[in-house]
């Protein structure tokens, strides 16, 4: 079993599939968008609708270059929104490459607070951005679910010693 610096905060419980409406009956969406300066950076955004999708709020920048808590030149991708129905919390889960020159990609999450703002990001895991041979292949996709204040994530990071992908399960109490 791979050890992580934040193992003390992790809990391990069973999965339960949650198919849920959006928070408080609102429709909600997240997605990536290139930064406006055409630098190639991708940024994660969140927007919501209170009228069944007829109109949408101004997007809030969650991650990537120009976002709070992100460095200039950061890129984010594979954004997902996860609803914890038991706690009534919405979480954004995403990968972020902290800088253009970073050798690592970080799997992170943020929680939508009661006041409508997003918490600072928490890094769940880090994985090399490329294999030891230089091939860019960092484990890309993940699955996430939250229940009872625990975020469950399954992803496939790269082993930094040999470049092989493996399946990782992480449960974090948020």
Q: What is the pLDDT of residues 21-71, one digit of tens each?
A: 455 556 677 666 655 555 556 778 888 888 877 888 888 888 888 888 888
Residue/partner pairs of 18-25 with CB below 8 Å, 24 or more apart: 18/83, 18/84, 18/85, 18/145, 18/146, 18/147, 20/83, 20/85, 22/48, 22/83, 22/90, 23/83, 23/88, 23/90, 23/112, 24/88, 25/50
Is 1 inside a domain boundary?
Answer: no
Q: Specify the pLDDT at position 163.
A: 73
Residue 76 maps to a domain: yes
95 within a domain of the structure (yes/no) = yes
Poorest-confidence range of 82-86, 103-107, 131-135, 145-149? Answer: 131-135
Residue 56 belongs to a domain: yes
In three-state secondary structure terms, 155 is strand
User: 102 vs 11, which has greater pLDDT?
Assistant: 102
**Domain with 47 in it:** 7-173
Say which residue, 21 or 138, is predicted with more confidence: 138
Please check whether residue 119 lies inside any domain of the structure. yes
Is residue 2 one of the residues assigned to a domain? no
- The count of domains in the chain is 1
């Amino acid at each position: 079993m791979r050890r992580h610096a934040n193992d003390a905060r992790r809990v391990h419980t069973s999965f339960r599939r949650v198919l849920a409406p959006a928070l408080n009956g609102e429709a909600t969406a997240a997605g990536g968008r290139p930064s406006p300066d055409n630098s190639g950076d991708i940024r994660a955004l969140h927007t919501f609708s209170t009228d069944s999708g007829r109109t949408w709020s101004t997007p809030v920048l969650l991650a990537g270059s120009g976002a709070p808590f992100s460095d200039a030149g950061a890129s984010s991708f594979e954004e997902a929104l996860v609803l914890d129905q038991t706690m009534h919390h919405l979480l954004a889960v995403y990968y972020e490459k902290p800088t253009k020159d970073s050798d690592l990609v970080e799997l992170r999450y943020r929680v939508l607070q009661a006041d409508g703002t997003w918490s600072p990001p928490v890094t769940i895991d880090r994985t090399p951005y490329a294999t030891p041979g230089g091939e860019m292949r960092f484990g890309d996709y993940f699955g996430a679910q939250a229940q009872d204040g625990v975020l469950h994530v399954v992803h496939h990071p790269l082993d930094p010693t040999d470049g092989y992908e493996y399946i990782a399960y992480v449960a974090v109490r948020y």
